[in-house]
Chains A and B, each alone.
Chain A
Amino acid sequence: MATAAKILADKPAHVPSDRVVEFDYINDAGIIADPHARMREIAETTPALFWTPHYGGHWVARSRAVLAEVTTSPDRFSSKSRGIPAMDHDVNLIPLTMDPPEHSHYRIPINPLVSPKGVAPLESSIREMANDLIDAVIAKGHCDFLHEVAEPLPVILFMKLAGMPTDRLAEFRQLAEQATAAPEASARSEAFVRIGHILAPIVQSRMTEPQDDLISKLYAAGVNGRKMTFEELLNYSVLLFLGGLETVVNALAFSTRYLAMHPAIQQELREDPAKIAMAVEELLRLHGIAFTVRRTAADTQLDGVVLKADDMILIMAPAANYDETFYPDAASFCPARKQPHVTFNMGAHRCMGANLARLEMRVFFEQWLARIPPFRLDPQSPPVFFGGLNLAIRSLGITWA
């Protein structure tokens, strides 16, 4: 598995020696031991912008200020790239790998579907799904939170929303994981192709027989005054699939793990559920999930360093959330913080599903904390973590027996 990852690039002449940190974002031992403890360590011990020789050599933007500059300067830092490690062709996901103004044309039709107003009607079905999942585990006094709760909730909701069949949940998640976490570029390419094959017939049918779902509405809205082609709509759907199947699953699971380790916070939220919405923001800050990628468009200065055209940058929002200059006492749970977190990233590509994610997390924790007694980590079944473009948990045993 890891053979490709172990080939280290030589340091290019333009990279200062004091900016080199050997960091493998997919197989890093610290991430696999405890992802967010590692994010905090990186925030405290590495340069704001550093270069790693892994995966052909790339920059890592880990500070909040560098993240903001990179993500809000699309003319200098393009979203069009071959990924890290490089595939043999450009990664092409609408609108993730587009730059403004093209990006805006494709962002406009999704906006009404993912706005606070657009997602509000889902609240009752989210609450119902949360209650069903709680019903299934509450009596036994323990569960694998990842497989029994965190995974089904957002994934089934998202699949219903997008008009996808829900009977292939396990297969879909495995593909989403492969697309974001496989160290081999070829395995990731293959996952994209297989996701496309699964979605193609759904997309085809929504173009001719629209349903009350996201893909149908996206098609109806059109882009820049015209309808999307089949290829465009399929491509956009692949992005929705990747966005919806991995991120909330992990945000829910990491947040629940944190609450399991902090009984006083659990208790405070049980006693005053009105505090849950703000607590979710702080849980999201402490548990950022996604890394994103940019390519330097032309030679440019960043954080006092010269970057060369086509240099690749990995943006580590989950580490920027531990940047002490923006989040004093960053490891502490402080829901009253003034600075917004960057778990949804910044810039034109700021997460389009943020309102849906927030709604799911608030409603889920309202139900979970109202019904499940004080819970803690199950020492018999320690969590398993992995890295890649999403920080992720593979299992999370908790108990309230």
Chain B
Amino acid sequence: MTKITFVGTDGTRFAVDAEDGLSLMQAALHHDVPGIVAECGGCAACGTCQVHIDAAWINRVPPAEPLEASVLAESENDHTNLRLSCQIMIDATLEGMVVEVAAAQR
């Protein structure tokens, strides 16, 4: 289990014990974090699980693959540290990470 804090678009904080091996998107859905839609189920196909990774943790997650980058390039959100949460797998190195749910999903 790895502690992840999701921050909703209204500022509400959701500190969850997330199962290692899941994606951030799956952890958010399992813990009913509002705002993550995840229409495609986790394949970088829809752009409905966008999050901002807290600057302190962004270097601990691998950079976006070209498919994810092509979706993010079109986002209406601020592009700083913007990621698809379905593409980031949880492990112990992310302990304490803060993840903000992005306002625009799609």
| A87 at the binding interface (Cβ < 8 Å) | no
- In the complex, how many angstroms separate the beta carbon of A224 from the nearest chain B beta carbon? 9
Q: Mark A336-349, 1 if CB is under 8 A from B, else 0.
A: 00001000101111
Secondary structure class of chain B's binding surface, majority of residues: loop
B76 touching A117, Cβ below 8 Å? yes
- In the complex, how many angstroms separate the beta carbon of A321 from the nearest chain B beta carbon? 13
A116 touching B42, Cβ below 8 Å? no
Q: Mark A352-368, 1 if CB is under 8 A from B, else 0.
A: 00110000000000000
Selecting from B11-19, B51-59, B64-72, the interface stretch reads B64-72
How many residues of B are counted as interface, with CB atoms below 8 angstroms from the partner's CB atoms?
A: 21
- In the complex, how many angstroms separate the beta carbon of B25 from the nearest chain A beta carbon? 11
Chain B residues, Cβ within 8 Å of A344: 39, 46
Closest to A104 in B: B67
A346 touching B74, Cβ below 8 Å? no
- In the complex, how many angstroms separate the beta carbon of A249 from the nearest chain B beta carbon? 22
- In the complex, how many angstroms separate the beta carbon of B7 from the nearest chain A beta carbon? 20
Chain A residues, Cβ within 8 Å of B76: 116-117
B70 touching A346, Cβ below 8 Å? no
Selecting from A107-115, A154-162, A178-186, the interface stretch reads A107-115
Chain A residues, Cβ within 8 Å of B46: 344, 350, 354
* CB neighbors of A among B2-52 (8 A): 37-48
Q: Mark A108-129, 1 if CB is under 8 A from B, else 0.
A: 1001100111100000000000
Chain A residues, Cβ within 8 Å of B42: 72
- In the complex, how many angstroms separate the beta carbon of B81 from the nearest chain A beta carbon? 20
A71 to B38, CA, bound (A): 14
A244 to B10, CA, bound (A): 38
A348 touching B74, Cβ below 8 Å? no
Chain B residues, Cβ within 8 Å of A104: 44, 65-67
* CB neighbors of A among B55-104 (8 A): 65-67, 70-71, 73-74, 76
Closest to B71 in A: A111
| A138 at the binding interface (Cβ < 8 Å) | no
* Residue in contact with A112 in the complex, picked from B39, B66, B70, B106, CB distance below 8 Å: B70
> Interface residue tally of chain A, by bracket?
20 to 34
A68 to B71, CA, bound (A): 21
* Residue in contact with A350 in the complex, picked from B45, B70, B73, B106, CB distance below 8 Å: B45
A72 to B40, CA, bound (A): 8
Chain B residues, Cβ within 8 Å of A68: 41
A191 to B39, CA, bound (A): 32
B39 touching A107, Cβ below 8 Å? no
Given contact pairs A112-B73, A112-B74, A72 touches B43 in the complex (Cβ within 8 A): yes
Chain A residues, Cβ within 8 Å of B67: 104, 107-108
B74 touching A116, Cβ below 8 Å? yes
A111 touching B70, Cβ below 8 Å? yes
B40 touching A350, Cβ below 8 Å? yes
A117 touching B74, Cβ below 8 Å? yes
Chain A residues, Cβ within 8 Å of B66: 104, 108
B40 touching A115, Cβ below 8 Å? no
- In the complex, how many angstroms separate the beta carbon of A16 from the nearest chain B beta carbon? 27
Give the interface centre of B45, B48, B106 by most chain A CB atoms within 10 Å. B45
Chain B residues, Cβ within 8 Å of A349: 45
Given contact pairs A107-B67, A108-B70, A340 touches B43 in the complex (Cβ within 8 A): no
B74 touching A107, Cβ below 8 Å? no
A86 to B43, CA, bound (A): 28
A348 touching B70, Cβ below 8 Å? no
A sample of 21 cross-chain residue pairs with beta-carbon separation below 8 angstroms, ordered by A number, consists of A72-B41, A72-B43, A100-B43, A104-B44, A104-B65, A108-B67, A108-B70, A111-B70, A111-B71, A111-B74, A115-B71, A116-B76, A118-B74, A340-B37, A347-B40, A347-B41, A348-B40, A350-B40, A350-B43, A350-B46, A355-B106
Add 6 more A-B contacts to A108-B67, A340-B39, A346-B40 (CB < 8 A).
A71-B41, A72-B41, A115-B71, A344-B39, A350-B43, A354-B39
